[in-house]
Structure 1
């Protein structure tokens, strides 16, 4: 496991943006010490380069960002445009990587190594953010580039973020820029269940020998007039990546939804409860880090009327979401430092989910089958019926309990109301309750109240 995972990662995409101009309006440079110190204060550990790209006309901002990250005590992953040549399928301004001769590939490798040498000695350099959401036809080039990177920067992170859930067969195979080509890999066909399509995609990616498994799913979406729903992909993807993490001894990191209402989509602005919920559910499934999108309003979206859909707006001002993130990450400091040393065994569900909708209410709702209704999708492979320490567990609404080797994590699975939990332990035990603070209790029964999305870790003795 790469050195960056010695601590629990809290990363951002998109990073503070370079200056821009759109329709006569000028937007300030946000690659400043003030912005980087603010990110540190909010609780972030890691910055992914975004619109400050090495080997482009914005590369000076990438080198400035490396220096600012060092001053602020943050890790920084560089974005380098040479990645485009490795992932090219012939539709992004470069020849398809697969059609390059071995001699041409070696020359590309030499250029990549030379480019890495330009920035790999910066103290804040923690790796490279190589590509976001590639199709599987680009995995050959990614595997090749990673070998070069590991040779030059062996202890640093080679980072790729994978596709989200519910996409087209063409996107699975080619990525988002498909030039209207029809897919040829029948394993991505709509006739196959979406879960199986994603497993096929993930199996192909594993062959690149990745450092980390990263993906994004934004679950707090509105379905027409239903505005308090959770997309089932939150649980489905966490379960799948937990299994692959366990099988291949790889850390995984999901994205969290910072704000909403971007690009005219159905993702809503998250509440404080939803902010806590997505972080704590990620911890429950054994994530070794979390990532937020969008952190800073990206220059790519300057046509959008909603410039406050993330934590930092287009003028560099913090939004309400920034305050929500800071509150949630304040609790994460305690939980993350404990769970990063722990291994998840499985998850148990207690109580009834309070967000169910009747069939009558859903009959005219498009995509209603993707609304979470309390049953963990594909959970039969890792859901537990009992936990060794607990004789009996009761909850006023659904609480998910993750058993780790060092204790168990309770998460209120409601984004609307608090949950009362009663635990009868098998014997009187001195346990440590860890949330926003630590509290030692000697008891065989525990009564705990958790706000919506909140969590508490119960550490076993001597842990």
Structure 2
């Protein structure tokens, strides 16, 4: 049976005396990650030393956590054309074979370690890199069919250079590159066209070969609007719904990146709230996905070079802070994962049918409060995306605030995952079933539910109902 992914991106780092940073490759850090529910570490970022990867693998084995590092042999497949380097498409057959051999040999060097689960191949690459990534995936799967290959997409909040070149062009905007076509008319990079150009991006990779694992990373609680302290970006709903639909086309497993704290560089800083942490987790599950990954898992070393986010390094951002201590959100994540641990296997083995909603959305602001704000169409106001809509006839709910009802089915057994969409207010529900009995899972408790019952949900909280036949 496939495993529900609960990962961190940004792995623990080794000591950096020149930066006056302690090692986070410690028993305390890995014990904390295990106790909060983590079962995967994705290695990518500043500390790319092989000795760090080996130490991580050894500690992961002790705490039964899988490790998927990013390896040095991956970069040629992602590189876009420049004056100094060839793009993968322009390599000779001999050059490709040499790179493939280097990839195979580097992966083989980690096979003796039991915690080595596979690789995190790439993060936020662009359209021009996808031929190389697809080729690498084919080589990897042919040689290591039992290992995992992870790739993370940008969200749809991108500009044209990032569409083509991903992080490479984001970091090096002066690089010259050739575009295979123009992004014009209905495919131009505008919010209105977001699903048109995003379809082009996603389909270009997924149509080339099969990927078992795909993810994306739009963080919905960044403080864009100082006037609205409780805003939720519509991407939390839209991208989870988008990939729920894409899964039906391509058959991959999807996990969403969760915003693990706050690291904004703008003056309007806000600490992540408990209801926000719960909401993003439960919306991901509510769209039938196979897991999630926290960013940042461990506070990234490269973040310390930005003095504008100095405040975030000791608690506000990350499950683990820059000194190896538990972050502000740790206790909430632990509580949430205690709930998820009771339902994750059941969710994975069930068929996701779709979502519906009821109740009037209230997150502490009114439409008139946001109507003149820039980019206000990005603020969620209670309207679910049109993707994967489904309304069950077997359950009726009255609620004091808006809820999302996610319907699942296993053989003839109906299941419902019900989420309070307010990250601010509690929600009073009255739930009716037409027939049969259900088991109710709330928090870390399981009990039988009557055909009609009342229940109160905390901000962002969800419950799971399983029909008893």
TM over 0.5, yes or no? Answer: yes
Alpha-carbon distance change, 102 to 267 in structure 1, aligned in 2, over 3 angstroms: farther
Matching residue of 1:158: 149
TM-score w.r.t. the length of structure 2 is 0.90
- What are the residue-to-residue correspondences of 1:8-87 with 2, within 5 Å? 8-21=4-17, 25-51=19-45, 58-87=49-78
The Cα shift of 1:356 comes to 7.1
Report the 3-state secondary structure (helix = DSSP H, G, I; strand = E; otherwise coil) of the residue aligned with 1:292.
strand
1:274 corresponds, among 261, 276, 280, to 276
- Distance in structure 2 (CA, Å) of the matches to 1:269 and 1:282: 21
1:102 corresponds, among 75, 90, 93, to 93
Matching residue of 1:396: 400
Residue-by-residue CA offset, 1:123-168 (whole Å, 9 max, x unaligned) = 1111101110000110111111112211221111111111123110
- What are the residue-to-residue correspondences of 1:284-299 with 2, within 5 Å? 284-299=286-301
Matched, 1:447 2:454: yes
Alpha-carbon distance change, 439 to 314 in structure 1, aligned in 2, over 3 angstroms: closer
- Distance in structure 2 (CA, Å) of the matches to 1:327 and 1:337: 18
Alpha-carbon distance change, 81 to 266 in structure 1, aligned in 2, over 3 angstroms: farther
The Cα shift of 1:374 comes to 0.6
- What are the residue-to-residue correspondences of 1:400-439 with 2, within 5 Å? 400-405=404-409, 406-427=414-435, 429-439=436-446
Contact 2:244 2:388 in 1 (8 A): no
Alpha-carbon distance change, 137 to 267 in structure 1, aligned in 2, over 3 angstroms: farther
Contact 1:170 1:183 in 2 (8 A): no
What is the root-mean-square deviation in Å for CA atoms of aligned residues? 2.1
1:142 corresponds, among 116, 125, 133, to 133
Alpha-carbon distance change, 8 to 147 in structure 1, aligned in 2, over 3 angstroms: same
Matched, 1:176 2:167: yes
Contact 1:18 1:52 in 2 (8 A): no
Contact 1:79 1:128 in 2 (8 A): yes
Contact 2:61 2:115 in 1 (8 A): yes
Residue-by-residue CA offset, 1:311-345 (whole Å, 9 max, x unaligned) = 22211111212222112212111122321211110
Alpha-carbon distance change, 443 to 297 in structure 1, aligned in 2, over 3 angstroms: closer
Alpha-carbon distance change, 266 to 210 in structure 1, aligned in 2, over 3 angstroms: farther
- Ranges in structure 1 where 5+ consecutive residues have no aligned partner: none
Residue-by-residue CA offset, 1:39-58 (whole Å, 9 max, x unaligned) = 001111111112476xx6x1
The Cα shift of 1:436 comes to 2.1
The Cα shift of 1:363 comes to 3.9
Matched residue count: 448
Matching residue of 1:260: 262
Report the 3-state secondary structure (helix = DSSP H, G, I; strand = E; otherwise coil) of the residue aligned with 1:302.
helix
- Which stretches of structure 1, 4 residues or more, deviate above 6 A after TM superposition? none
- Distance in structure 1 (CA, Å) of the matches to 2:98 and 2:157: 37
- Distance in structure 1 (CA, Å) of the matches to 2:139 and 2:269: 38
The Cα shift of 1:183 comes to 7.2
